[in-house]
Amino acid sequence: MNPGAPAKLAFSQQPSNTMLNQAITPAVTAQILDANNNLTTSTANLSVALTGSPAGGTLGGNTSVAAVAGIATFSNLSVNKAGTYTLSATSGVLTGATSAAFTISNPVPTLASISPISSNLGQTLNVVFTGTNFVNGASTVSFGSDITVNTITVNSSTQITANITIPANAIIGAHNGTVTTAAPGGGTTSSQIFTVNNPATTTVLTKRQ
């Protein structure tokens, strides 16, 4: 049976759940069908776009390809922000298609070190966290409830700089420094010890006259 004229699109290989910035595998495929759902031999160009949440996610890779015997293969698609999305497929005047929903997850962070590893009561300073899988906009740091994290900058996937203030009434001693990356995916690292010190008190002796 010969297929009719190209009329509509359909996803044949749906996008699968994938990690942030990783290629979606297996490769997403879409078909060009006739009005009776028969696969055509069209070589038309198909494009895919990202829909869903959160706002700000970008679809990477080759998002427009030519069909081969009615099937377009998108072999290197990726998404740069965690969330739940769908893909929409279009091709000229043909009826488009929407994929099943899929989830992009943040990677699990790890923490290897922090620097410096101590400071005094009443100080405001920068602390550098070194590890892996840090995500801008999704990773945060903590030293416990009695140390204030003023700002954090995700310098790269392996480094975060946190500006912190140690109040005068903070607990003296060891605090657990950790990195947490938000869901989907993500998680909290094991801790590195940051020590709060009570600065030495200087006693001045004066000779009595």
pLDDT in tens, 193-202: 999 999 865 4
CA distances from 44 to 67, 70, 157 (A): 6, 8, 39
209 in a domain, yes or no? no
CATH number at 140 reads 2.60.40.10
The pLDDT value given to residue 205: 54
How many domains does the chain contain in total? 2
Amino acid 162: pLDDT: 98
Q: Are residues 22 and 100 in the same domain?
A: yes
- Domain region containing 56: 8-105
* Residue 202 confidence (pLDDT): 47
* Tens digits of residue pLDDT in 175-195: 999 999 999 999 999 999 999
The predicted-structure confidence for 102-111, as pLDDT tens digits, reads as follows 999 999 999 9
Assigned domain for 135 exists: yes
Cβ-based neighbour number of residue 4 at 10 Å: 12
Provide the pLDDT for residue 203.
Answer: 46
Tell me, yes or no, whether 1 lies in a domain: no
Last residue of a domain, one of 59, 82, 105: 105
Residue after which a domain boundary falls, among 71, 88, 105? 105
* Single residue among 78, 105, 132 that ends a domain in this structure: 105
pLDDT, average across residues 139-148: 97
Is 202 within the bounds of a domain?
A: no
Between CA 179 and CA 149 the distance in angstroms is: 12
Q: What is the mean pLDDT of residues 82-89?
A: 96
As a whole number, mean pLDDT of residues 36-47 equals 98
Q: Which two tokens stand for residue 57?
A: 């996610």
